[in-house]
Amino acid sequence: MLTVKFSHAQYQNFIGKFLNEFFIQTNQQITLLERSSLITKMWSTDLTEIVPLIQSTYSKTKQGAPPKDVVALIRSLIIMAYHKVKRVLKYDNSKLPDNIESTLNNILS
């Protein structure tokens, strides 16, 4: 059964705390400015509305492994597209320019 794992408000709260703790409090605001386009896009785009649209394609039984967090997977695809990653054999966050993107991608994990 496909469900929303974390609300968009929870995602924004997590990102806000992370950016404050690791960039604002450590005087690395220039990094935030350099990445502001992606941060703004990920902050403002509520992807949780995708779940009802694709829910019918998922099994309604509880057999097998539970589905992955589809919202997080789509966030990953958006971030990869932003960085022009065309294929992934093994996902490696270290290939991204800095840990802002990996944090945007890995909410509450």
Q: What is the C-alpha separation between 77 and 36, in angstroms, rounded?
A: 18
CA distance 100 to 97: 8
Answer whether residue 46 shows pLDDT above 60.
Answer: yes
Are 44 and 75 contacting, i.e. CB atoms less than 8 angstroms apart? no
The structure's pTM equals 0.69
pLDDT: which is higher, 72 or 104: 72
Give the pair of three-digit tokens for residue 34: 């350099």
C-alpha 41/C-alpha 78 separation (Å) is 10
Q: Please count the other Cβ atoms lying within 10 Å of the Cβ belonging to residue 82.
A: 15
pLDDT of 90 above 70: no
Is pLDDT of 40 > 70?
yes
Comparing 8 with 87, the larger pLDDT belongs to 8
**Which residues fall within 8 angstroms of residue 36, CB to CB, at 6 or more apart?**
none
Confidence band of 105 (pLDDT split at 50, 70, 90): low
Task: Give the chain's radius of gyration (CA, Å).
Answer: 15
Mention every residue, 6+ apart, whose C-beta is less than 8 A from residue 58.
1, 2, 67
